[in-house]
A and B are shown apart, each in its own frame.
Chain A
Amino acid sequence: MRPFTYERVGTALEAAEAAARRPGATFIAGGTNLLDLMKLEIEAPLHLIDVTRTGLGVIAETDEGGLRIGAMVSNTALASDPRIKRDYALLARAIVAGASGQLRNKATTAGNLLQRTRCSYFYDTDQPCNKRRPGSGCPAVGGVSRQLGILGVSEHCIATYPGDMAVALRVLDAVVETVRADGTLRTIPIADFHRLWGDTPHIETALEPGEVITAVVLPAPLGGAHLYHKVRDRRSYAFALVSVAAVLDGEGCGRFAVGGVAPRPWRVAEADAALPDAAEAARLLTQGARTTAQNAFKVELVARTLAGVVAEAKGEVA
């Protein structure tokens, strides 16, 4: 790990101001991803700005009948909040499908959105990687790619956004709230928060440098069955091969998003509209997939997992 300096700030605006003052600074909250990346020297920030004491650990009701989740609310606190469990069970289920109890105690809502890909080539500094060293190439294309992306990927990068929470947020149409160093506030729909790689895979989100996430806002609750099915090689503590988050009525109609396949949780309006025909919905969702020999199975896995989720909503399977 490289040496770095550290400061703690008291508000999100102070965090943004501190970042503007110090080039090479990074925010740290739970650190569940950042510390690993620093130990491996994948990230080598010169300065850490601790945002854990910014007073953003509260879940509050909004005038629109939704919830404003403070950026520093831990994954555990969020998944166990009675309002979340009652009205946004999809979110609670997605969160507890990820990581471990210990990690979820430390991990924050904002930090979870910003966790970086788990591509093995990204994680080894001896390998080329366009995300880590722009222009160095992507050995994952044509390499060991079983876990990697099939949608929204490019010849420059086929990594995935690895998380679970954001897949649920995508179905729920959440909005990310931020503040910048000049004090201006911004809202970013979750659909636009994670960027597609294109030819700049090192730029992963819509955040500007130094911009601070303050909250994630959920609109009013959606009725229906809240289902999250995460398919992985082992039954805990593994990233998704494919995950399906869905809010469906008893006929199997509704909306869904898919994780583990793209740089962002993948949702397609036409696919939602095709429900309850799971095969057609999956076909529309995975249209234009760019697969490798090793990850082509994900296309069928999306279709099968969605079929299972729709059957569950219709009460056809337990």
Chain B
Amino acid sequence: MTDIGTGTYTILAQTAAEVMGLPLSAVSVTLGDSDHPAGPGSGGQWGAANSTSSVYAACVKLRAAVAHKLGLDPERSDFLDGEVRAGNRSYPLGAAAGGGELVVEDTLEYGDLDQTYQQSTFAAHFVEIAVDAYTGETAVRRMLAVCEAGRILNPISARSQVIGAMTMGLGAALTEELAVDTRLGFFVNHDLAGYEVPVHADVPHQEVIFLDTLDPIASPMKAKGVGELGLCGVGAAIANAFYNATGVRVRNYPITLDKYLDKLPPV
């Protein structure tokens, strides 16, 4: 498991802190080390829900180990404010380690869950675009994504991730294309000078709404991933908005003006 900029460190630390009754600053997360157990990896909406659920499972096991060390019943112990409390007894959490380390590992596997339930995230993408009646230049003015992905583990980082994905979709729809000269086997625009990803001037007002839902089936955290959720659908929304603005259907991305200029009304 790695953090590719999506906020994995943050949501893993949040999960551990909440389950163990610790401040966020007391949790350190290490990722991307080949000595670590194999994880789901970051991609395909796998990372957040699975990694946080694994951390959750390990923390439940750690709570049991801590309670056992302190001679407490894990079922009747509260983990709050860095302490373990049971009845009128209270210990600092660290006391369980007795000056050393207390290490647990746990594994989460889903069995036949994917055979018995279809698990998906859902979103609707809304786009407003403007097309210059003279030059045919296309500009996206507003974008909105309304998303359902179970528990949103961190609304701030999830929002950033979805906005990033919406921007990625914008580039795919309007500017990004790998040009290949098949005579020479030459990738013609093989750098970021020629392969145009969106710049700030292309990126309009963007908003994200997460529906307040839980998915009790998908994972112990009742959460699902949001990666593709912000991306899939953006291209179609832009193409539909372009059609709505111009009456012209462009069937192959990116929607660049050489593909439709001759179909626009004359000036």
How distant is the Cα of A305 from the Cα of B267 in the complex, in angstroms? Answer: 10
Which of A75-83, A226-234, A267-275 faces chain B? A226-234
**Which of B134, B184, B196, B262 has a CB less than 8 Å from the CB of A234?**
B196
* Contact indicator A235/B188 (Cβ below 8 Å): no
Which of A1-9, A46-54, A84-92, A138-146 faces chain B? A138-146
Give the secondary structure class of A's interface. loop
B212 at interface by CB-CB < 8 Å: no
Smallest Cβ distance from A222 to chain B, in angstroms?
Answer: 23
* Contact indicator B198/A234 (Cβ below 8 Å): yes
Per-position 1/0 for A2-34, Cβ under 8 A of B: 000000000000000000000000000000000
A289 at interface by CB-CB < 8 Å: no
Which of A153-161, A166-174, A209-217, A293-301 faces chain B? A293-301
State which size class the interface on A falls in.
Answer: 20 to 34
Known: A144-B179, A234-B198. A304 touches B261 (CB 8 A): yes
* Contact indicator A229/B135 (Cβ below 8 Å): yes
* Contact indicator A127/B184 (Cβ below 8 Å): yes
* Contact indicator A301/B135 (Cβ below 8 Å): yes
Give the secondary structure class of B's interface. loop
B21 at interface by CB-CB < 8 Å: no
* Contact indicator B267/A234 (Cβ below 8 Å): no
B228 at interface by CB-CB < 8 Å: no
CB contact list, B141-193 vs A, under 8 A? 174-175, 179-181, 183-184, 186, 188-190, 193
* Contact indicator B193/A139 (Cβ below 8 Å): no
CB contact list, A284-318 vs B, under 8 A? 294-295, 297, 300-301, 304-305, 307-308, 311, 317
* Contact indicator B202/A120 (Cβ below 8 Å): no
Per-position 1/0 for B199-217, Cβ under 8 A of A: 1111000000000000000
Beta-carbon nearest neighbor of B254 in chain A:
A233
* Contact indicator A143/B181 (Cβ below 8 Å): yes
B124 at interface by CB-CB < 8 Å: no
- Chain B residues lying within 8 Å of A235, measured Cβ to Cβ, are 139, 199, 201-202
CB contact list, B243-266 vs A, under 8 A? 254, 256-258, 261-262
How distant is the Cα of A223 from the Cα of B260 in the complex, in angstroms? Answer: 36
Smallest Cβ distance from A316 to chain B, in angstroms?
Answer: 10
* Contact indicator B188/A120 (Cβ below 8 Å): yes
- Chain A residues lying within 8 Å of B261, measured Cβ to Cβ, are 297, 300-301, 304
Most buried by A among B135, B184, B257, B258: B135
How distant is the Cα of A297 from the Cα of B259 in the complex, in angstroms? Answer: 9
* Contact indicator B193/A118 (Cβ below 8 Å): yes
- Chain B residues lying within 8 Å of A127, measured Cβ to Cβ, are 184, 186
Known: A231-B135, A304-B134, A311-B134. A236 touches B189 (CB 8 A): no
Beta-carbon nearest neighbor of A142 in chain B:
B183
- Chain B residues lying within 8 Å of A56, measured Cβ to Cβ, are none
Q: Which 8 A-B pairs have the closest CB atoms?
A: A308-B134, A235-B201, A236-B201, A297-B258, A144-B188, A120-B188, A307-B267, A144-B179
- A/B interface sample: 6 pairs, CB < 8 A: A235-B202, A236-B199, A236-B200, A241-B257, A301-B135, A308-B134
List residues of B whose CB falls within 8 A of some A CB.
Answer: 132, 134-137, 139, 174-175, 179-181, 183-184, 186, 188-190, 193-194, 196, 198-202, 254, 256-258, 261-262, 267
